[in-house]
Amino acid sequence: MRIHHLTLGLLLLATTAFAQPNTVRKLPEGYIGDNKFYYGASYYPEAWDLEANPNQIDQDIIRMKELNMNVMRMAEFSWSTMEPTEGAYSFQWLHKIIDKLKAAGIDVILGTPTATPPAWLIQKYQSMMLTKANGKQEVHGLRRDCSYASADYQRECARITEKMAAEFGRKPGVIAWQTDNEMSVTYDFGPETKTKWQAWLQKKFGTVERLNKLWSLALWSQAYQDFNQIPMPDIEKWHNPSLEMAWVRFWNDEIIHFQDLQLAAIRKYSNAPITHDGMPGQSVDYPGLFKDLDFMAVNNYHSFEAYDLIMSNYDRMRGYGKGYHWLFETAPNFSGGGNNGQTWFLHSPEGSMRAALWMNHALGAQGSMFWLWRQQPAGQEMTHGAVLSAWGKPSANYNDLKVLGAELQKVGKDLMYMPVEKAKVAVMWDHKAKVGLEIEEYTNGIKYYNDWTYRFYLPVANAYLHRDVISPNTDLTPYKVLFIPLMPNLDATLKAKLKAWVTTGGTLILGPMTGYRNDEWAANTSAALGDLEQWTGIVGETMIPIGTKPRPAEPVPGLRFAETLNLPEAPAALWAMTLSSKTGSILATYSSCMVKDQPAIIQNNVGKGQVIVMGTDPGKEAVKAIVLKAAKEAGITPVVKGDAGVVAVPRNGKIGKAIALVNITGESKSITLPYPGTDLLTGQKTGTALTLKPYEVQIVKE
């Protein structure tokens, strides 16, 4: 579990019948285990005194069955239990528990325990511990306290992973693997890292002269004569943005290499699918990290006020095109931990926890699991909520958990045969943009995750346009409309792909704050938007920053919209780039300030398609209107109509079609469906006009 409140060693390349890293593996039916919904929790029996209570596993299983749970996630933190001393392996306890769970119809997902190495290993290889920018090393007892770049750490993690895989690779009941735990970009400043970092730079840039030129290092006399002069930047200092961006990219490469060693070890003995439990707001290159994994998984800790923020993550999981995704961690009630042992009541309104889990399944999940089964008896995360308390009593919302389990079991099979329809609209998310806007905001106060979601993604969702959230390497062929906001750099490969897609009929909506940085996070010098301007026919002229919270006395440019949009005047936001085009149509013009009467949003035909460039954030209603206009012109209709705040997901398959509806707000919502049907949860007939009570769920099958 992780707090989330509104944040070469040994290479195992043995020849086997199983796929190795860099081999694309796709689940044949898009799901893992059996063709059903899974529901469960993270299970850490190694933390409990089983000798004093030998019946505890059996008692837990009775409770699990009572809740209709059918999967447990285990072993991700149990290295010291599996290998209490060097080379002395102890796996029998885990075999016994998996056997008991399997006999009860409960499957297991095993995690590699590499996020928390044991004390004896740290004592032997002290150099694997993270060194901070001030030269001080971390000490044992934390999590993510070792350096991904350490050859000793890489080798030892590959070793324990291979031992686990050899032991459990073909174990009945083990349906999947998870690598490590919530890998994040953690910086190490030790001598081993310095050597690898400077070698990485030399391989990437070839000559130090080329690096100096790309990063404009003549400024401030920053130019280097040798790669060994280039520092490891402390992100707390004001370093060159290009240097900082390269530093993060280096660490992402190290993380992917670290995981590749584990993939090779597992696939040497097991053909079970492998994933990683990602976190939505991380700076990790998830397209890179998940490229060679078999299915998607995410950990979401979210209070009821942020269900709309979290919705985009499930669209993102589905957008990777790896079949049904999984929610590996969420709190059943409250979250807690951290240095001060804080707690956050996440699902306080009645019915909200059920709605949160149903949102995940409605948007394409096969499984959902709580963190955790039983509250920890001690330790850093003792304050976190669980299904059972540390003293073994059911949680306050235990009956709600039971109802949810029964519902998932009741309709899971039907929904597995009616998967989420393929979307024709996409919104692009880019981890590089998140990192870059943390390095250099350029418009004060911007936070990529929140601003991308609330300013741009949610207007699309609230228009009830069925959409995927995709990454830059996604195949664009299935989509007719693509929206790319807040993406300062589009690399050459993506731009070529966008041009080909647009000219053959796609509608591309760019901006705001898209295309103004090059691959080294430096400015374009030939044109404001670089070579995008050559083929879109839309030119960036000037730019002034507005920020997320202008000062009270600061004038903000206004916007006048074209009559076709039927919108009242509104203030511009984030920044104001003026545009021009010889052939395009103006959709909005600035009405005040130094950009007065200059175009703010322009639409232009390109080949068989069109491009819309937004020079500013025109507000949620305008974003919604522009995307709806583009969708209508592309022949796309909304899934439903009505009040905003409902998750509405079209599902279609072998047994018919349905719309999954989840009200993720505390207010009643009125929705109009395209057809009447039957609610699979209650068996009640529905008309086309529905009123959903707060946090109500309906699965309406035609």
Taking only the tens place, the pLDDT of each residue in 398-451 is 999 999 999 999 999 999 999 999 999 999 999 999 999 999 999 999 999 999
| 7 pLDDT more than 80 | no
Give the containing element (helix H, strand E) for 132. Answer: none
pLDDT band, very low/low/confident/very high, at 369 (cuts 50, 70, 90): very high
Question: Where would I find the H helices in 320-427?
Answer: 352-362, 398-416
* Cα–Cα distance measured from residue 17 to residue 269, given in angstroms and rounded to the nearest whole number: 9
For CATH 3.20.20.80, list the domain ranges present in the chain. Answer: 38-185+258-416
Q: Give the model's pLDDT for residue 1.
A: 47
Closest C-alpha to 364, from 329, 403, 312, 399: 312
| 537 pLDDT more than 80 | yes
Closest C-alpha to 369, from 521, 557, 175, 197: 175
In terms of pLDDT, which residue wins out, 531 or 5? 531
| 5 pLDDT more than 60 | no
Q: Give the model's pLDDT for residue 562.
A: 98
* Cα–Cα distance measured from residue 453 to residue 431, given in angstroms and rounded to the nearest whole number: 14
Q: What is the DSSP string of 401-461?
A: HHHHHHHHHHHHHHHHTSPBPPPSEEEE--HHHHHHHHH--SSTT--HHHHIIIIIIHHHH
Pairing type for strands 609-614 and 507-510 reads parallel
Q: Give the model's pLDDT for residue 23.
A: 47
pLDDT band, very low/low/confident/very high, at 2 (cuts 50, 70, 90): very low
Which residues have C-beta within 8 Å of that of residue 194, sequence separation ≥ 6? Answer: 232
What average pLDDT does this structure show over 616-620?
A: 98
Amino acid of residue 538: I
For CATH 3.40.50.880, list the domain ranges present in the chain. Answer: 425-633
For residue range 644-674, what is the model confidence (pLDDT) as tens digits?
Answer: 999 999 999 999 999 999 999 999 999 999 9
The order of strands in the sheet holding 646-653 is 646-653, 656-663, 697-701, 677-679, 685-686
Q: Which one-letter DSSP state was computed for residue 305?
A: G
| 506 pLDDT more than 80 | yes
First to last CA, the chain: 39
* Cα–Cα distance measured from residue 31 to residue 325, given in angstroms and rounded to the nearest whole number: 8
pLDDT band, very low/low/confident/very high, at 25 (cuts 50, 70, 90): low
Beta bridge partners of 272: none
Which segment of 43-52, 95-104, 320-329 scores lowest on mean pLDDT? 43-52
Q: Give the model's pLDDT for residue 29.
A: 87
For residue range 447-466, what is the model confidence (pLDDT) as tens digits?
Answer: 999 999 999 999 999 999 99
What value does the mean pLDDT of the chain take? Answer: 94
* Cα–Cα distance measured from residue 122 to residue 685, given in angstroms and rounded to the nearest whole number: 62
| 695 pLDDT more than 90 | yes
What does the chain come to in residues?
A: 702
Q: What 3-state class would DSSP assign to 319?
A: helix
Does the domain formed by 425-633 have CATH 3.40.190.10? no
Q: Where are the beta strands (DSSP E) in 548-614?
A: 558-561, 570-571, 574-580, 585-590, 599-606, 609-614
Q: Where are the beta strands (DSSP E) in 239-333?
A: 274-275, 297-299, 325-329
What is the pTM (predicted TM-score) of this model? 0.95
Peptide bond into 372 cis (omega under 30): yes
| 628 pLDDT more than 50 | yes
For CATH 2.60.40.1180, list the domain ranges present in the chain. Answer: 641-701
| 575 pLDDT more than 70 | yes
Give the containing element (helix H, strand E) for 135. Answer: none
Fold exhibited by the domain 641-701: Immunoglobulin-like (2.60.40)
Contact 350, 357 (CB under 8 A): no
* Cα–Cα distance measured from residue 659 to residue 700, given in angstroms and rounded to the nearest whole number: 5
What average pLDDT does this structure show over 74-79?
A: 97
Q: Give the model's pLDDT for residue 11.
A: 30
Q: What is the dihedral of CA 92, 98, 100, 103, to 10 degrees?
A: -140
Domain 38-185+258-416 architecture: Alpha-Beta Barrel (3.20)
Tokens of 652: 């279609």
Give the containing element (helix H, strand E) for 656. Answer: strand 656-663
Q: Give the model's pLDDT for residue 283.
A: 85
| 20 pLDDT more than 90 | no
Q: What is the dihedral of CA 483, 489, 491, 497, to 10 degrees?
A: 10
| 106 pLDDT more than 90 | yes
Gyration radius (Cα) of the chain, Å: 26
Closest C-alpha to 325, from 359, 302, 355, 352: 359
What average pLDDT does this structure show over 516-543?
A: 97
Contact 51, 90 (CB under 8 A): no
Peptide bond into 512 cis (omega under 30): yes
Q: Where are the beta strands (DSSP E) in 253-303?
A: 274-275, 297-299
Which segment of 142-146, 328-332, 450-454 scores lowest on mean pLDDT? 142-146
CA atoms lying within 13 Å on the CB side of residue 69: 26
| 202 pLDDT more than 50 | yes
Q: Give the model's pLDDT for residue 12.
A: 31
Which residues have C-beta within 8 Å of that of residue 338, sequence separation ≥ 6? Answer: 3, 380
* Angle CA 264–270–275, to nearest 5: 65
pLDDT band, very low/low/confident/very high, at 4 (cuts 50, 70, 90): very low
What share of the chain has pLDDT > 90, as a percent? 92
Q: Give the model's pLDDT for residue 16.
A: 33
